[in-house]
Amino acid sequence: NRLGPAGSHFICVQSVVVDDQDNLWVLDPASPKMQGIVKGGPKLVEIDLRANQVMQTIPFGEDIAPAKSYLND
């Protein structure tokens, strides 16, 4: 973790899955200790394990992850 915009780093990883193309998918509900989300933090991140780089970050807005929600796999 590091300082910066909530969407640019992991806040609270809930789940990780590797697909059949060696992509790691990381679900970050951005709700430390389930105390409510950090605004702008909920996201799904795809990481290419062969290239060791982030391929895409899919942010979830408040319409998908309301303030008192907790995204789960």
Name the residue range of residue 55's domain.
Answer: 6-59
Give the count of beta carbons closer than 10 Å to the beta carbon of residue 38.
16
Is 26 a domain residue? yes
Q: What is the pLDDT of residues 12-39, one digit of tens each?
A: 999 999 999 999 999 999 999 889 999 9
Is 1 a domain residue? no
pTM for this one?
A: 0.89
Six token digits for residue 14: 């809930």
Is 27 a domain residue? yes
User: What's the confidence (pLDDT) of residue 73?
Assistant: 81
Tell me whether residue 31 is exposed, middle or buried, using C-beta atoms within 10 angstroms of its C-beta: 0 to 12, 13 to 18, 19 or more.
buried
Model confidence band, residue 2 (pLDDT cutoffs 50, 70, 90): low
- Segment 44-62 mean pLDDT: 98
Is 45 a domain residue? yes
Domains of the chain: total: 1
User: What's the confidence (pLDDT) of residue 58?
Assistant: 98
